Every structure is written in C-alpha cells, then in structure tokens.
Amino acid sequence: MTLIAIAEQALNGLIISTFYALIALGIALIFGVLRIVNFAHGELYMLGGYACYMAVTLLGLPPVFGVVFAVILLMAAGMAIERTLIRPIHAGKVDRPDEYAIMITFALSVLLLNLANSVFGPWPQRPRPIFRGIVEFGELIIPGDRLAAASVGALLIAGLMLVLRFTWMGKAVRAVSQDRQAAETFGINITRTSMLAFGAGAALAGAAGALIGPVFNVVPPMGIVPAIKAYIVVVLGGLGSIPGAVVGALILGQVESFATILIPDTTRALAYKDAYGLAVLILVLLVRPQGLFGKRERRA
C-alpha cells in the first residue's frame, strides 16, 4: 500500500469518525443525564436529514441554514419527547422503568420511521450539500461535500465540549451525569437539565443528519445503520462518557476504514464491514461493560 493510499484511508476514517462522534455524543449525553439508551436516536438523525431537505430543497435556503433549521427543530422535538415520554420515568410514574425506557424509545423509532415514510415517501432525497466538488492536497483527493460536512461536524463537537466545560448549563449536565443525587442537593434543577440534555442530544443527531444527509441520501431508514454505529461507539468509550464517545468514534472510523482494505477477499470484507463493530460491541459488553475508558457503572 502506498503512503498516499494509507493517508487517504486514514482521512476517510477521520471523516467517518466525525460523523459517528456527532451521533454518539447525543446518545452519551442523554445516557449520562437520564440513564437511558435512546433507541430512537437513529430516527432523530433521520429527521435532521429531512429538516435539511425541507429548508434547502423545499424552501431554497442556503445549505448552512439546513443545519441550523435541523438543530432548532430537533432540539424542540427532543425536549418534547423528554417532557412527554421520558420524564414519567423519573417522576416515578412508571412501574418498570428500565423496561419502559427501552421499549418506549424503540416504539418511538417505529413511529418516526413510518411517519417519515408516510409524509416524505420512501424515495431518496438529495438536498444541496454545503460544498460541492473535490479538494486536493497534493496527490490526496477528497470529495468536498464530505470534508465540508465533517469540518462543520468537528466544529460542532468542539463547540459542545466548550459548552460542557465552561458554561453553567454544561456544568449542570456534567454534575448530573456524575452524581444525580449530589447534583440535586447542590441545587441543580434535575428536571430542567434532563430536558436540556435530551434536547441537546436530539439536536446533535439532527445536525448530524442535516450534514450527512446531503452527502449520502435522505431516506426514512437512513438512521438505522448510523445509530448502530453510534451504539458501538458509546459502548466502546463507556456509556455516558463524552470523551469516551469521541475516542470510540476515532477508533471505529479507523478500524472500519482499514479493515476493508486489509482483508484480502475484498467483496466479502466489504459485505461484513458493518459486522466488525458489532462484534466489538458484544466483546466489550461481555468483557468490560464499562467500556474502554469508563468507570464501573451500575446496571442500566
């Protein structure tokens, strides 16, 4: 393999990692604060893609506004979902909270996917991307739409890190993630923080959908595979860990990128590409359920 080919694979992996991280961070954020895995996360991502489609294709707005629109819309949707479906868990209104949380988010994914099928139809849409054409770094050639989407994604991730680190809201989110009870005694409004966390997690998924949708396609089932990748990423990094999600995404992106070219039988390697990460997920959960970096976690 030439140096250029290696660099190309590494960069491809990095771009994919950014996408994975964007989706995974939302799951991690939600799990951290609410202690639930959102099984509808892929469908929130899909809605982000359609938000972008509506803004860019139907309303003719510039692509960047597609992302902004998706963030706002999904933030609102996420907060509404938290308010109506998730809050009852923590208000003690549900008999078997663990089971309920898993099944209600899974049912939500059924609803959202088929809602999109009904409203938008099963046909793929392709809103205009932020940037078209190719970018050349010497001999290295990269599709511009991917690079632009990943760059915006990376900016969003950096922004999220800063918000979590330095703002009062971010501190509240981190405090609740670490110790719900202690956070409450220190006067943090758990209810508001929970709603905010779910909203922010959904907004991240929406942003990811709006950024990646134009690169690939916007279709109702578009969220299924990315969501599974994101589950792998968060499990790898330790459920609920924000830095873990970023590192997990970097690992998965590279592993997938190189595994496909290192395995001799290429067609087969490609066919099994999505299975490697799943095997990693099973292995991590069985051997080290707290993830590579997380600390021991109580049952979820």
Partner 1 sequence: MSGLTLLQKGILAVLVLALVLPYVGLQDYWLYTLTIGLYYAMLASSWSLLVGYVGRISFAQAAMSGLGAYVAVLTGQLLDLPVLPALAAGVAVAGLFGLFIGWLTLRLHGAYLGLTTIAFGEILRIAVTAEYDITQGSRGLTAPPLWQGAGPVAYYYVFLAAAVGSVLLMLALLRSRVGLFFQAIREDEDGTASLGVNVTLWKALAFAASTAFAGLAGGLYAHFVQLITPSMMSLQEMGYILAMAVIGGFSNVVHAALGGVILQGLLQVLRELGEWRLAIFGAVAILMLRFAPNGLFGSLDAFLRRRR
Return residues touching partner 1 (CB under 8 A).
36-37, 39, 85, 88, 94-96, 98-104, 106-115, 117-118, 122, 221, 224, 228, 231-232, 235, 239, 268, 271-272, 274-275, 278-279, 281-282, 285-286, 289, 299-300
Nearer to partner 1, 42 or 127 (CB): 42
Nearer to partner 1, 44 or 71 (CB): 44
CB of 254 to partner 1, least distance (A): 20
**Which 3-state string (H, E, C) describes 150-168?**
HHHHHHHHHHHHHHHHHCH
In the complex, the smallest distance separating the C-beta of residue 224 from partner 1, rounded to whole angstroms, is: 6
> Of 72 and 282, which has the nearer Cβ to partner 1?
282
DSSP secondary structure letter of residue 218: B
Contacts for 149 with CB less than 8 Å, ≥ 6 apart: 15, 19, 129, 130, 211, 212, 214, 215
Helices (H), the chain: 3-34, 41-53, 63-81, 87-90, 97-120, 144-166, 168-178, 180-185, 190-212, 224-237, 242-262, 266-271, 273-287
Phi, psi of 141 (to 5 degrees): -115, 125
Could you tell me the smallest distance in angstroms from the CB atom of residue 239 to partner 1? Answer: 8
Identify the helix (H) or strand (E) that includes residue 134.
strand 134-137
Closest separation between CB of residue 287 and partner 1, Å?
11
CB 64, min distance to partner 1, A? 31
In the complex with partner 1, the residue whose CB is nearer, 211 or 218, is 218
Closer to partner 1 by Cβ: residue 134 or 279? 279
